[in-house]
Amino acid sequence: DAGITQSPRYKITETGRQVTLMCHQTWSHSYMFWYRQDLGHGLRLIYYSAAADITDKGEVPDGYVVSRSKTENFPLTLESATRSQTSVYFCASSVKVSTDTQYFGPGTRLTVL
């Protein structure tokens, strides 16, 4: 059972380039989330999705784009990467209930030079 996977695990890119981080879950969870983790800031929600083709902004959505054409995939795109987007990105999923466990992926460490 693969659970929730992220790719790539590590990525180095340059300022201005477009980058897409992939997230895939095998549980058919309705909800998926993207967070960034930075020292001193904890986990900050970027975007979330309640179902395929339904997405909404979180706390820090600027500079990011998401899509969800299939339930199992939730890619996060940085349209024009900036150094401030250097971070560790976590994808998570949960079943469609109001108080349910979030299952996190292993993370993608992104460095923008």
Partner 1 sequence: QQQVKQSPQSLIVQKGGISIINCAYENTAFDYFPWYQQFPGKGPALLIAIRPDVSEKKEGRFTISFNKSAKQFSLHIMDSQPGDSATYFCAASRTTSGGSYIPTFGRGTSLIVHP
Positions in the binding site for partner 1 (CB under 8 A): 31, 35, 40-45, 48, 50, 58, 90, 92, 94, 96-107
Minimal distance, residue 44 CB to partner 1, in Å: 8
Query: Are 110 and 86 spatial neighbours (Cβ–Cβ below 8 Å)?
Result: yes
- Is the Cβ of residue 48 or residue 81 nearer to partner 1 in the bound state? 48
Partners of 55 in the beta sheet? Answer: 49
Minimal distance, residue 80 CB to partner 1, in Å: 27
Torsion, Cα 16 111 21 84, to 10 degrees, reads -60
Residues 86, 100: Cα–Cα separation, whole Å: 29
- Is the Cβ of residue 4 or residue 81 nearer to partner 1 in the bound state? 4
The sign one gets for the Cα dihedral 110, 55, 66, 53 is positive
Minimal distance, residue 95 CB to partner 1, in Å: 9
- Is the Cβ of residue 24 or residue 105 nearer to partner 1 in the bound state? 105
